[in-house]
Amino acid sequence: MPSPLKIAPTFASAYRTGPIPRRFFLGVVNAAVQFATQMLAITIVFNQTESLGGWSREDLIVLVGVHAIVSGILGMIFSPSISSFLESIRLGTFDFLLTKPVDAQLLASVQSVAPQSTVDGGGSGHYWLWSGTAGAGFGLVVLMFILLLLAGLCMVYSFMLVLASMAFWFVKLDNIMNIFNVMFGNAGTWPITIFPAWLRGMLTFIIPIAFAVTIPAQALTGALTVGNVALTFALAAVFLTASRFFWRFAIRQYTGASA
Amino acid sequence: MPSTPIISVENLGKTYTVPEREAGVKAAVVSLFNRKTRDVQAVRDVSFDIHPGEIVGFLGPNGAGKTTTMKMLSGLLHPTAGNASVLGFTPWERDRAYLGQMTLIMGQRNQLQWDIPVIDSYQLFKAIFRISDADYKQRLDELIEWLELQSLINKPARNLSLGERMKCEIAGSLLHQPRVLYLDEPTIGLDISMQRKIREFVAEYNARTGAAVMLTSHYMADVEALCERVIVIHHGTLLYDGDLHGLVSRFSPFKTIAIEFSEPMVANGQLADANDRYGEIVSANDTGWEVRVPKSETAAVASRLLADLPVADLTISEPPIEEVIEQVFATGVET
């Protein structure tokens, strides 16, 4: 089987896209507006208080930066690929993907790339400049941050995959994916510690926003605990394994669109 | 045929469970809580073998079970009954060694990436099928030459006409040089000239590589040009498996006798009598008639026509294959 590392860049060269400069320009405008809005929100909040759920102003900027990076990665590969996957189920072209001698989950997960989304991730560089905390630690801290970020991405990807796999039964799932995007886009920019317990639980174990954003950000703000690190890696393994099993079960339900 | 079958199908069956409900809002609400389903037997007890190098026409009306059978053989669907072996593999186990040796081409769907140049999609297939640089170049050059793709491969698929896109689809599907081809209506919607090109290409690919081809098409021209053997399926059940011309002689109870008169002849009320004496007069004018007669009476009717009328030429022919197939589908004749 071709390795994912070989397939993924090939897909990257075969991304679905329109005129690149125009998309990048729109991406830059979008990232700038988001940046300004979020900075305004943070400024307003911290004019009233010194700390938000235990997070300082600098910590929160780091968190927003991490959220931007995660959003950029999701928006570059997984979101467009999952959208393409859902469309292919509806149109019946998923047949072609299943008849290829490679892992169907891999192909479905990386089949479309939206390079303009790197603007979101790249835009987060601005946030780092604002953050005193981000520049304070290197070496192990950054390594731990990257590992936690990867683990968090694995969890969010697994969650998206499970949601998308339901298309084998329900075919049209665009709205559910929209709900996920809205929740991730809005709740993810705030530390989960500020939410009530029930919502915190949901954003931790059902929609794993806490693991994708809050905990990696804690690696940079110095608020990380050993327990959180262990839990993140353990849950990443559980999410990946469970989503894999669910995918395999779901794919057996595929009947294709009628000829 | 002495060779070992490349495709072997035994008592294959597929039953779908499909939801159904009455029309109206009330029924829609009720169906949310009490979902009714119905079992539909798309394929039942189908068995056949296909040998290397064969091109087999897989015929049937819409909804007959052709595509379902092909999807099971290409590993997309799990059957609910029976077994199949293709190239020694069980298709629905989707062994990568099997998927790397077969291809599925569907005339109504595209696998080329819509927005990027065709050649980029080919690069993708090269990576997926692990085709070496040398093989890729050689096969691509051949396919470009056979299908006249030179001016097309650098354009995005969305900018190609239907026929151009189909040629590119076919080339992309054959880059890994599959040994088994499932062609599901590959010429649908194409103009006559493009249909002919695709047919010629399939025949040439089959001759050069010895690949087995299973073809569904509603265009009898495809079937007549490519398939010596046909399998007819109707309501999921196999009706006929054999020689294409054998299908005509088995299922058509009629022959057509065409006569040309040696001198212009005005019917003058003879036609009413002619229907009784010779058979069904399908067409008639001053220069000739076309008469449809029961197969068993062909010789006798031909003799009567020669004796009674000033005949310059007489031809006896089987009815067109479309007509026979249509009749088989309409009556669902069992073998």
Mean pLDDT of chain A: 79
> Based on the number of CB atoms within 10 Å of its own CB, is A30 exposed (0-12), middle (13-18) or buried (19 or more)?
middle
Q: Give CA–CA dist A155/A158, Å, rounded.
A: 5
Residue numbers in B near A102 (CB within 8 A): 96, 128
Long-range contacts of A133-137 (CB under 8 A, 24+ apart): A133/A58, A133/A59, A133/A62, A133/A220, A133/A221, A133/A222, A134/A62, A134/A65, A134/A220, A136/A222, A137/A220, A137/A222
Minimal CA–CA distance to B234: which of B94, B73, B41, B56? B41
**Residue B115 contacts A, CB cutoff 8 Å:** yes
Distance (Å) of CA A163 to CA A157, A180, A256 = 10, 9, 18
Tell me the two tokens of residue A128. Answer: 């780092």
Half-sphere exposure for B296 (CA within 13 Å, toward CB): 0
Beta bridge pairs of residue A52: A55
Same-domain pairing of B282 and B214: no
Q: Which of residues 29-68 of B touch A (CB under 8 A)?
A: 66-67
**Residue B92 contacts A, CB cutoff 8 Å:** no
Minimal CA–CA distance to B91: which of B139, B42, B50, B39? B50
Tell me the two tokens of residue A63. Answer: 């968190």
Residue numbers in A near B15 (CB within 8 A): none
Which residue do the tokens 């759920």 mark? Answer: A53
Here the ipTM equals 0.77
- Amino acid letter, B199: R
Considering all CA atoms of chain A, what is the largest pairwise distance in Å, rounded to the nearest integer? Answer: 62
In a domain, B26, yes or no: yes
Same-domain pairing of B104 and B219: yes
Same-domain pairing of B194 and B301: no
B109·A102 Cβ contact <8 A: no
Question: Structure pTM?
Answer: 0.78
A14·B71 Cβ contact <8 A: no
In a domain, B331, yes or no: no
Q: Give CA–CA dist B114/A93, Å, rounded.
A: 12
Tell me how many domains chain B contains.
Answer: 2
pLDDT digits (tens), chain B, 335 positions: 457 899 999 999 999 887 777 788 888 888 777 778 888 889 999 999 999 999 999 998 888 899 899 999 999 888 999 999 999 999 999 999 999 999 999 988 888 888 888 999 999 899 999 999 999 999 999 999 888 899 999 999 889 998 899 999 999 999 999 999 999 989 888 888 888 989 999 999 999 999 999 999 888 888 888 999 999 998 899 988 999 888 877 777 788 899 998 888 766 566 667 777 888 888 888 888 889 888 888 999 999 989 988 899 999 988 777 777 777 777 665 44
Same-domain pairing of B178 and B207: yes
Given this model, what pLDDT does residue B99 score? 94
In a domain, B113, yes or no: yes
Percent of chain A with pLDDT over 70: 78
Which residue do the tokens 């010194």 mark? Answer: A50
Among partner residues A14, A93, A254, which is closest to B111 by beta-carbon distance? A93
Boundary residue ending a domain (B249, B269, B298)? B249
B104·A95 Cβ contact <8 A: yes
Say whether pLDDT at A156 is over 80. Answer: yes
Residues contacting B240, CB < 8 A, separation 6+: B230, B231, B232, B247, B250, B251, B328, B335
Q: What is the CATH number of the domain that holds B71?
A: 3.40.50.300
In a domain, B327, yes or no: no
Among partner residues A11, A18, A99, which is closest to B74 by beta-carbon distance? A99
A7·B127 Cβ contact <8 A: yes
Q: What is the CATH number of the domain that holds B273?
A: 3.30.70.980
Same-domain pairing of B244 and B274: no
Same-domain pairing of B171 and B281: no
Distance (Å) of CA A108 to CA A153, A215, A228, A251, A256 = 17, 28, 31, 12, 15
* All structural domains of chain A with their residue ranges: 4-251
B130·A14 Cβ contact <8 A: no
Q: Which of residues 207-226 of A touch B (CB under 8 A)?
A: none
Whether residue B190 contacts residue B162, with contact meaning beta carbons closer than 8 Å, is answered with: yes
Same-domain pairing of B93 and B111: yes
Same-domain pairing of B169 and B281: no
Q: Give CA–CA dist B8/B129, Å, rounded.
A: 25
Per-residue pLDDT band for A153 (boundaries 50, 70, 90) equals very high
Domain that holds residue B154: 7-249
Closest residue in A to B121 (Cα) is A14
Same-domain pairing of B32 and B66: yes
